[in-house]
Amino acid sequence: MTYEVLFATIREYKQAGISNLDTLTTLLNNTFGDSLTSQGVSHIEMLDENRLCLNVIGQRKEDNSSKGIQLYSRFLVISLNEIKDNPESVADALKSYTSDGDGAYVWVIPDGYMAGLSAAEQEWEQHGGGYFSHESICISNTADIGTCCLLEVLYEDTDLENVSCEFDVPAHRSVHYRLDKLKDANGEPLIAKDAPVSYKITSRDTRIVVQGSRILTSGENSAFASFGTVMAWCPQ
């Protein structure tokens, strides 16, 4: 979608007799919502017959206001009469904002379980051999700024105390954590083995995308292995 198409559609709605601002706003978001989201705009709102507000998924980093476009902290206002001869200047104005990234701030992996290792597997692992039962989480941060994430481990067994830890994910980077390698303040494994859990990952500063994965080994000499990959669930 180009902004020339957006503005032409607004004119056509009006020519068809659709003048109610709430109706225009609903129609525009229904028609262009997905395309606008891909360009960093979460919502558009008709303020009056000549002014359009675009909510931006990001913060203003510089002021490049131009004729017909006024930039604010997380939104911009367009004068349709002034911008009609240069509709693509809106795309240039959006470059003045940082990106809050893709995904969401909160993710949950309801099904977690790390099987305990056999004696042979523990010995092999100590010597750097083999690839044994464990779980991992992968986090992608496509935003222009880094974020701090909180991992909360929620046990099913009420005799076990829930635990948590924090980690950073830089801008335009990904991190991958072997959950069996996480340690507590005493250097012991943070997450108990052979215990059903759920994982909640909360990002403080940006939207992120989270994926969970699991490998289970079994049989003599860990002859059998199963792999599972699942996108985390986003409650928003």
Q: Where are the domains of the chain?
A: 3-94, 106-231
Residues 109-121: pLDDT tens digits?
Answer: 998 888 877 777 7
106-231 carries CATH number 2.60.290.11 = yes
Closest to 51 measured CA to CA, from 82, 30, 85 = 82
Cβ atoms of 10 and 52 within 8 Å: the answer is yes
Please say if the pLDDT value at position 154 is more than 90. Answer: yes
The confidence band for 162, taking pLDDT boundaries of 50, 70 and 90, is very high
Starting from the edge strand earliest in sequence, which strands make up the sheet with 106-112, in order?
A: 106-112, 197-203, 147-155, 163-169
Residues 189-201: pLDDT tens digits?
Answer: 899 988 999 999 9
> pLDDT higher for 236 or 196?
196
- Whether the model clears a pTM of 0.85, i.e. scores above it, the answer is no
Q: How far apart are CA 112 and CA 197, in angstroms?
A: 5
Residues 32-73: pLDDT tens digits?
Answer: 999 999 899 999 999 999 999 999 999 999 877 788 999 999
